Amino acid sequence: MRQWKGAWLPHRRVPGVLSFQRRFTPRPDDVLLASPPKCGTTWLKALSFATMARAAYPPGDGDHPLLRLNPHDCVPLVDSLFSAGQEAKLDALPSPRLMNTHVHHSLLPPSVAHDPGCKIVYVCREPKDMVVSLWHFYKSSKTTEGSTYTLSDLFENACQGKHSNGPIWDHILGYWQESQATPRRVLFLRYEEMLRDPVDSIREVARFLEVLFTVTEEAAGLPEDIMKLCSIETLRGARADKMGANKVFVKFPHTSFFRKGVAGDWVNHMTPEMAQRFDAIVEEKLHGPGLSF
């Protein structure tokens, strides 16, 4: 891990993040999905893609891209394209481009961070659930390095903010403050609220991106169709593995992106002492600015 401007990054990601920051050419109608890892990125990618591309790909279509590709293959992770020398793929995307990043708000290219045109949809979740989800994800890695990481190691690092794109409290705070300052540019979502009312979240994303559902689309049940298409069960069952389509995360099988999909699973993995310790750290960092989990 490397620390850069207060953020922890896996060292192999640093060149890509640097290039993203220095060489990214924005378009005024870009849409960037941002999140700490394991906080609902895959779900947000799926429902944003399904919402924005609904004219070309109706959600009820049995050959919808989300039924044959991993959502990460539908919405590119910007810095990974830079680190693979494939930024030309970003130029080839039709407008409005839909992309994603895990970097802190402070590490975004200045053009993206402050461009009045570019919209950012951010999702985060209860930090203890993020830690547990991250641990399961590492365990599902096809490499030995990932699968031997213990929860106790990960937890100790997370308490110091030292995890991929950590500290999570600074990550959340950066985007939250930006969403307060410029609510038309940054939409701040919580995974738990999306779970509580997924259809409402889909409408909220559509409203924010200015692709509102028409009366006819509402009457036809399009938001509900998108919700079903993007449900964890449907996405888990996509033919992505069989088609060998998941190119971005080659170390992880398609199904590792779709584990339980519930709130509060930390209780099955952390002791009360661990939970108290982590809560105290998060509360100290976020409570002052008025955020709580």
Residues found near ligand A3P in the complex (CB under 6 A) = 35, 37-43, 129, 133, 136, 230-232, 235, 257-261, 265
DSSP state of 185: T
Burial group, residue 181, by CB count within 10 angstroms (0-12, 13-18, 19+): exposed
Q: Which residues are catalytic?
A: 102
Question: How near is the Cβ of 235 to ligand A3P at its closest, in Å?
Answer: 5
Which token pair is 202? Answer: 């889909």
Which token pair is 256? Answer: 């590792």
- Which residue number, 238 or 282, has a Cβ lying nearer to ligand A3P? 238
Report how far residue 75's alpha carbon sits from residue 62's, in angstroms, rounded to the nearest whole number: 20
Question: How near is the Cβ of 270 to ligand A3P at its closest, in Å?
Answer: 13
Best CA proximity match to 113, nearest among 185, 176, 46, 19: 185
Strand ranges, E, within 102-255: 119-124, 186-190
Question: Residues 77-89, buried b or exposed e (16+ Cβ, 10 A)?
Answer: bbbbbbbeeebee
DSSP state of 32: E
Which token pair is 229? Answer: 């298409």
- Which residue number, 21 or 41, has a Cβ lying nearer to ligand A3P? 41
Question: How near is the Cβ of 134 to ligand A3P at its closest, in Å?
Answer: 8
- Which residue number, 111 or 154, has a Cβ lying nearer to ligand A3P? 154
- Which residue number, 175 or 257, has a Cβ lying nearer to ligand A3P? 257
H or E stretch at 7: strand 7-9
151 and 143 in contact (C-beta within 8 Å)?
Answer: no
Angle at which helix 272-287 crosses helix 151-159, to 10 degrees, equals 30
- Which residue number, 14 or 263, has a Cβ lying nearer to ligand A3P? 263
Question: How near is the Cβ of 159 to ligand A3P at its closest, in Å?
Answer: 19
Question: How near is the Cβ of 38 to ligand A3P at its closest, in Å?
Answer: 4
Question: How near is the Cβ of 74 to ligand A3P at its closest, in Å?
Answer: 13
- Which residue number, 115 or 279, has a Cβ lying nearer to ligand A3P? 279
69 and 235 in contact (C-beta within 8 Å)?
Answer: no
